[in-house]
Amino acid sequence: MTTVSSTTSTTGASSVTNAKDVGTLNANFDQFLRLLTTQLQYQDPLSPMDTAQFTNQLVMFSQVEQQLKSNDTLNKLLTMQTLNMTALGVSFIGKDVQVAGANFDEGGGKSVNLAYSLPTTAAAGSISIVDANGNTVYTREAELGAGTHEFVWDGKDSLGSPVPAGSYTLVVGAQTAEGDALNVTTYVPGHVTGLETADDGTLMLNVGNLMVPMTDVRQISEPSA
C-alpha cells in the first residue's frame, strides 16, 4: 500500500496566521485614521497639532503592511514549491531507482545494477558483496579512475554459484598511492513504495525498508518484468 503524507500543513498554517495579521493591521489602521480625523476636526485652529508623529505612524503602518504582504507572497511560493516537489515524489512511486546507499535485496541469482563514485583517482581498490551474515560472497577489483563507475553483478558468488535471495551489502574500498582511504559513494537498486515527509520537511522516498531523500536518487526506471 502506497502512502503519501501531508506536506502543506506548515505552509498552510503560516498563510492563515499571516492573513490574520493582515486583518488585524487593517483594523488597527482604520481605527488610527478615525482617531486622526477626529483630532484634526476638533483641533484648535490657533494652535494646530504637530502632525510629524502621525506621519511617522502612517509610514510605519505602510511598512508593516508591505512586510506582511511580502511574507504572504513568500508563503504562497513555498507552498507551490512544496506541492511541485510532492507531485514529483508521487511520480516516483512504483518505479525502480538507484540511490546512494549500500544495502540492497537480491532475488536469488538475478543480475543487479550497482555503481560507485570515487572523488579522485585511486591507486588500488576492490569491490565486495557481503551477505546478511557478514560473509563476503563476491569480490573483484575496482576501476580506479575518478568519477562514477557502473557494473552489473550477476547474482553469483566468486565460484559462479547463484546466491540465495536476501539482503546484501555493497562494499567498495579504495586507497591513494600513500595508502590513505578514499571516501567512496556507493549506489544500489531499490523499488519506491511510498512518500513521506521527515520532521525537517524533507521529502523522503520509501525504498524497501529505508527512507531515502529524493536528492539521493541517481537513476529512475520502469520496473523490470
Question: Of 28-32, 48-52, 53-57, 108-112, where does the model show the most confidence?
Answer: 108-112
**pLDDT band, residue 7 (cuts 50/70/90):** very low
The model's pTM is 0.64
Query: Which residue shows C-alpha cell 555503481?
Result: 115
Closest listed residue to residue 203, CA positions, set 60, 90, 55: 90
Domain boundaries, the chain: 9-92, 96-221
Mean per-residue pLDDT, 29-39? 67
- Give me 80's grid cell: 507551490
At 146-179, the pLDDT tens digits run 999 999 999 999 999 999 999 999 999 999 999 9
Q: Is 6 exposed, middle or buried (0-12, 13-18, 19+ CB in 10 A)?
A: exposed
Which CATH number, 3.40.50.20, 1.10.3720.10, 3.30.420.480, 2.60.40.4070, labels domain 96-221? 2.60.40.4070
pLDDT of residue 11: 45
Mean per-residue pLDDT, 205-217? 89
Phi, psi of 220 (to 5 degrees): -140, 140
In angstroms, the CA 166 to CA 18 distance is: 52
pLDDT of residue 86: 79
Phi, psi of 161 (to 5 degrees): -95, 140
